[in-house]
Structure 1
Amino acid sequence: MTSRGVEHPNKKGAYSLMILLLSAAVGLSACGGGTAVPKKQDTPEQGAKAESAVKSETKLLQPEELPKAMVEGRTDVIYSQFSSDFKAQVSQKDFKDMVAEFVNGASAFHEESNFLLNDLDHRIWIDPASRKGILALFDGQAAIVGLQILELGKPHASDEQYTNTTFRLPFKGDWFVFWGGNNVLFNYHYEHEIQRYAYDFIQVQDGRSYQGDEKKNESYFAFGKEVLAPADGVVVTVVNDIPDNVPVGVMNEQNPAGNQVIIEHNGEYSILAHLKQGSATVKEGDTVKRGEVIGQLGNSGNSSEPHLHFQVSDGKDLFQSRAIAVKWEQGLNPQRGEIIQGGE
């Protein structure tokens, strides 16, 4: 699955490859793959024989073997494990060329993140110099259904410029950090200054974010959970009338943040977005205390499934302000793939 925030920018670069295949619901879709593509033959019968031979002789790469295969130039083996939908979006030649340029100067990659979610294996690797990174998603049959390779760029100076306010997690119980961290592989928001230090939080049980019909908001563990004020402040913006997306997977790009509450904390503004329609319990001008309920989590706006988008900015207009790195209570540093615990 993907958990999108208020914006889902396209990745760009000399050899950036990003194909995350979305189904009508929210899952990353794998529709086959796992075998090599045969070379062109004179007849269909010859082609079938060749494909059968490849299937019997080719050993599937395990997820942990992907970076080494890239460095060694075994792009034919990697491409053979692309799902059929994935292959339809990128040619084998283009993939080979992109990988050759990408691995130039990189001899190895170290795994930085690894988790299972909704039947998909999510992996991130970064080279020792922290200049290049790989994000890959595998289904249960080791088919590659999502892949991103790109330059990470230099860290921003603002990474070490934290909020003056100390914030508490805006929820109770255990939550999963789907996007969070200071590079674009851990946090797709990071590329854009207006939401560089944003987070997307979901709830997960037994490796899944939902139980039952994936098209229904009520199937998601996060939907309807209480959202709390992360610090004392004054409410400056409340949006409460935007319908939650139905079915799950249909997104409202006209109102990217969806229902939201924005709170001022002495010139810093916490933004809590994608709330449930009609759930806001505060109004503009209200003074709130840390831990006070301000609404319920929903699936409104540019959201692919129920999740909470949280960030702190230097202004109340999300799209005209600059995101600030959050100073959390107890030195917390939420990173993609982690389970974090809110207050009781």
Structure 2
Amino acid sequence: MKKVWISLGVGAILLTGCATQSEATAISSTTESPKKKEEGAKTMTVQAESFVQALHDGKIEDAYEQSSSSFKQQVSKAQFVEGYAAFSKGLKSWNHHSHTSVNGSYYDTWVDQDAKRGLVLATDEKGIITGVLLKPLQSYPDTDNALTKLVYSAPFTGEWYVSWGGQNVLSNYHYEVESQRYAYDLIQIKDGLSYKGDPAKNESYFAFGQEILAPQAGSVVHVVNDIKDNVPVGAMNAQQPAGNVVILDHGNGEFSYFAHLKEGSAKVKVGDRVQKGDLLGLCGNSGNSSEPHLHYQVSDGKDLYNSKSIRVQWENGLNPRQGDSIPAK
């Protein structure tokens, strides 16, 4: 699903000149990736660390000079300095939160010492800062700490990558919306790419056509199976945002949603009883989707838009968020 960074005024968000995270970009095999620095279990680009260090040291103009020419065309130095100074009043530290690297775009996120403000940097394949996002953060501790009663397995085989997921809006754009707060967007990647070959063809994407499995036993309560798959990185189907979908009722007030499935791939019908691990359908690119991926979430009702999302309790104590991989047995 596309994410568009827009300006909401000084102290909120600075306009950026970068591609959307879910947008696939063809990368030459000879392109040198930005160097990364290890930080515990996470990584970040050296360029992003240098940019944030300059901000931390109060050298806002120096940080600005590290950004791309396209960014500078959209945001003047004066605007950047004024906007960041207003946003960072009382700031003591930026703490690295996550790193994502897919299709030649690199995203690093930070939160402040109180988890009240967030910073996102986008870096291109040459290591140039192409986007800066400053955003106030809101948390929902009551629901963050209320996990599903059932423990769920990964709804697929192999290893999948969390494109969007986690307990704040920096790593999970769904988080601002109660009905999708704990949703995941999941893709497959190899060597930093989600596809091989022509990025304008669904068949080029590693996730496309992969089997989607029931993560727990349940009854099928809703199936959509006739929506055409989108052309990748083209127009999305906003009129039918979930695309082809299967919804399972697990019988305890918890419902699993599997959205953006491949046209005609559903293997179940309403009323079917499925067991954990049963095949539901295939990963596709239908609905409000810019490339093949699985949108997965658990909610307290079968109506996606009028139910509340529940944070998933995963097997093996996993707590995946953006940039992590979810392994399946």
TM-score bracket, normalised by the shorter chain, equals 0.7 to 0.9
Name structure 2 gaps, 5 residues minimum.
Answer: 27-45
Quote the offset at 1:8 in angstroms: 7.5
Q: Does 1:98 align with 2:83?
A: yes
Superposed displacement of residue 16, structure 1: 2.6
CA offsets per residue over residues 240-289 of structure 1, 9 Å max, x none? Answer: 11111114332111111111101111121100101011100111111111
> Structure 1 CA distance, aligned partners of 2:73 and 2:177?
29
Shift of residue 104 of structure 1?
Answer: 1.1
Q: Judging changes above 3 Å, is the alpha-carbon distance between structure 1 residues 11 and 320 closer, same or farther for their aligned structure 2 residues? A: farther
The 8 Å contact of residues 219 and 274 in structure 2, kept in 1 or not, is answered as yes
Shift of 1:114: 2.3
| Distance in 2 separating the partners of 1:303 and 1:20 | 21
Q: Secondary structure at the match of 1:163?
A: strand
Q: 2: distance between equivalents of 1:286 and 1:87?
A: 56
Instruction: Check conservation: 1:174, 1:341, Cα contact below 8 A.
Output: yes
Deviates more, 1:127-136 or 1:211-220: 127-136
Identity %: 48
Cα distance, 1:233 vs. partner? 0.5
- Cα distance in 1, alignment partners of residues 279 and 238 from structure 2: 27
Residue 62 (structure 2) pairs with residue 77 (structure 1): yes
Q: 1:312 aligns with which of 281, 295, 298?
A: 298
Residue of structure 1 in register with 2:224 after alignment: 239
* Structure 1 residues 96 and 28, CA gap change in structure 2 (3 angstroms): farther
- 1:16 is aligned to 13
One of 263, 279, 288 as aligned partner of 2:265: 279
Aligned residue in 1 for 2:144 = 159
SS of corresponding position for 1:17: coil
Say if 2:106 and 2:124, in contact at 8 Å, map to a contact too.
Answer: yes
| Amino acid of the structure 2 residue aligned with 1:22 | A
Taking structure 2 as the reference length, the TM-score comes to 0.86
Match of 1:117 in 2: 102
Map 1:46-57 to 2 at 5 A: none
Which secondary structure state, in structure 1, belongs to the residue aligned with residue 196 of structure 2? coil
| Structure number, greater radius of gyration | 1
- The change in CA–CA distance for 1:162 and 1:207 in structure 2 (over 3 A counts) is same
Cα–Cα, structure 1 residues 298 and 20, in superposed 2: closer, same or farther, change >3 Å?
A: farther
Runs of 5+ consecutive residues of structure 1 not aligned to the other structure: 30-60
Question: What are the equivalent positions in structure 2 for 1:232-271 lying under 5 Å apart?
Answer: 232-266=217-251, 267-271=253-257
What one-letter code is carried by the residue in structure 2 that aligns with 1:259?
N
User: Could you tell me how far apart the structure 1 residues matched to 2:140 and 2:196 are?
Assistant: 38
| Residues 232 and 289 in structure 1, CA contact (< 8 A), matched pair in contact too | yes
Q: For residues 177 and 11 of structure 1, do their structure 2 counterparts lie closer, same or farther at Cα, with a shift above 3 Å needed?
A: farther
Alignment check: 8 A CA contact 1:226 1:296 kept: yes
Q: Paired residue for 2:23, among 4, 22, 26? A: 26
Structure 1 position 197 matched with structure 2 position 182: yes
Q: In the superposition, relative to structure 1, how do residues 319 and 119 fare at CA in structure 2: closer, same or farther (>3 Å)?
A: same
Q: CA deviation at 1:113?
A: 1.6
- Tell me how many residue pairs correspond in the alignment: 308
- Structure 2 equivalent of residue 142 of structure 1: 127
1:289-343 deviation digits (Å, cap 9, x = unpaired): 1111100001111111111100011111111111011111222211111112113
CA-atom RMSD, angstroms?
2.4
**Partner residue of 1:341?**
327
1:69: Cα distance to partner? 1.8
Quick check: 2:100–2:322 contact (8 Å CA) kept in 1?
Answer: no
C-alpha distance in 2 between matches for 1:226 and 1:70: 45
TM-score normalised by L of structure 1 = 0.82
Q: Report the alpha carbon displacement of residue 28 of structure 1 after superposing the two structures with TM.
A: 6.9
